[in-house]
Structure 1
Amino acid sequence: MKHARVIYQGATHEATERDGQLLLADGRLVAYDAVDWLPPLSPSPRPRTILALGLNYADHAKELAFKAPEEPLVFVKGEGALIGHRQFTHRPAGVQFMHYECELAVIIGRTARRVKRADAYDFVGGYTVANDYAIRDYLENWYRPNLRVKNRDTCTPLGPFLVDAADVPDPMSLALRTTVNGKVTQSGNTNDMVFDVPFLVEYFSSFMTLSPGDLILTGTPDGVVDCQPGDVVVTEIERIGALVNTIQTGPTS
């Protein structure tokens, strides 16, 4: 099942996909373009922790002239960075290079502590699409992206749907694609991850507790390009959905 969270007629609603429309919890069917989309995360539990992988596709590491990491390169994101489908991401005035990152996002379904790899999928509640924008101007170095690179307001669109894990039988064989203004600029497959989903659940839960609603953003393949104000960016993952986002000029920072 595909779950969404939207604002319709001034109120926030939980919804599911039904024949190309949204079925609200109160039984009304509404069109996609009749709502404002929120990140498809239930208000309870909200994500306590958002973990994001850097250089988790060898081709992307090569694209950036780095060696693929020998252990996960991870940073933590704040919830304030998240926005929904069809929303706007700010490109600060004066920056030289800001690019999208099409990523499979994993939503933890139940408390995970010291999980074994073979059991990892039992702790996954679902998946969504993340577009984790990065501003290269602010990068200190490849292993320590500072807050201004990845933790900016509006810099991480999420959605449009949260898809139940049961409806994604093999998350490690999903095609990813990004278009900018209708032109394909990135394509890849989750089977090219350096560290796959079961490894990551085992790895993180070995030293920290993962709670229901926590997110793991699993990295992006090569093919990132600079995005300008007015660009419409669509990050799409097979079986999960197509996340639409538009760039607009933000304040200098």
Structure 2
Amino acid sequence: MKLLRHGPAGAEKPALLDADGKVRDLSGIVADIAGEALSDAALARIASIDPASLPEVTPGRIGPCVAGTRKFICVGLNYVDHARETGKTPPEEPILFMKATSAIIGPNDEVEIPRTSVKADWEVELGIVIGKRAKYVGEDKALDHVAGYCVVNDVSERAFQSERGGQWTKGKSHDTFGPIGPWLVTRDEIPDPQNLALWLDVDGVRRQTGTTANMIFGVRYLVSYISQFMTLEPGDIIATGTPPGVGMGIKPEPVYLKAGQVMTLGIDGLGSQRQQTIEARD
């Protein structure tokens, strides 16, 4: 299934996308795409419903595809070629950092360029959405704890990330730096999350092309690994790293985002996003 949330920010309603591309209202079935609604049992109940029996809606804004996210966990340098383009050695264990949940926005919402930004950058990533509590989970059981997958743009400010002291979080957490969606695609529709093509364009110029087959640490490993350090809860998101082609890696001179540009990005089977960049609001 492809689940989504639509409506004004903070007042989104749950829905699903049917096989004909029509949006069907789920607000009479679940309160939101969050919490218990992400469990296998709840997803099975939704899947058992004939979509044609649900009211068709014409969405305006598409919101973040999941609500109630308590942790937005990111994996750094998880593609060998991306690590090399940044001048870093590929890691021997996953590099983990947190992105503020206040950065989460819808897939087509505007992205703010921070007021003092000089190195704003893009990163298309596969997102894992947790559906069942995971603590000390083995790799063999890891996917049992996954509700599904989504597109993530891990927008970053490289100067904040690497030149301002501290850890990466401050370069990753500005408001609007976490577009997710458009859909939460349930795991049954993605039989092999390590075989998905990713892409990202800026102003119509292809900047990133990759495949999740090149991830250093795959989905199963990441869910298991992270669960050794913190309990994963329904609605938590893991952004699994980006392929090469980020702005900071462009030769001979890096290229960074400024207000007035357009990013478009997508992943096979998970849909696409489009964001215009704007100056930061108050």
- Normalising by structure 1, we get a TM-score of 0.90
- 1:245 matched to 2:245? The reply is no
C-alpha separation in 2, matches of 1:143 and 1:21: 48
Residue type at the aligned position of 2:60 = V
- 1:2 matched to 2:2? The reply is yes
Q: How does 1:52-131 map to 2 (within 5 A)?
A: 52-131=74-153
Q: How many residues align?
A: 246
Richer in helix (by share) = 2
* Identity score, percent: 36
Counterpart of 1:29? 56
Shift of the 142–130 alpha-carbon distance from structure 1 to 2, 3 Å rule, reads farther
Asked if the contact 1:73/1:143 (under 8 Å) is kept, the reply is no
SS in 2 for 1:38: coil
C-alpha separation in 1, matches of 2:91 and 2:228: 19
Counterpart of 2:251? none
Question: CA offset at residue 92 of structure 1?
Answer: 2.0
SS in 2 for 1:87: coil
Alignment equivalent of 1:227, drawn from 232, 235, 257:
257
Alignment equivalent of 1:40, drawn from 47, 62, 65:
65
The gaps in structure 1 that reach 5 residues or longer are none
Q: Which runs of 4+ in 1 moved over 6 A?
A: none
Shift of the 93–208 alpha-carbon distance from structure 1 to 2, 3 Å rule, reads closer
The gaps in structure 2 that reach 5 residues or longer are 29-53, 248-255
Richer in strand (by share) = 1
Question: CA offset at residue 142 of structure 1?
Answer: 11
Asked if the contact 1:126/1:163 (under 8 Å) is kept, the reply is yes
- Normalising by structure 2, we get a TM-score of 0.82
Residue type at the aligned position of 2:198 = L
Q: Deviations over 1:202-244 (max 9, x none)?
A: 1111232211111111010110122221211112001111011
Counterpart of 2:49? none
Asked if the contact 2:4/2:14 (under 8 Å) is kept, the reply is yes
Q: Deviations over 1:104-163 (max 9, x none)?
A: 000111111211111211111100000011111212369964433001111111110000
Asked if the contact 2:156/2:172 (under 8 Å) is kept, the reply is yes
Shift of the 11–214 alpha-carbon distance from structure 1 to 2, 3 Å rule, reads closer
C-alpha separation in 1, matches of 2:150 and 2:115: 30
- 1:191 matched to 2:213? The reply is yes
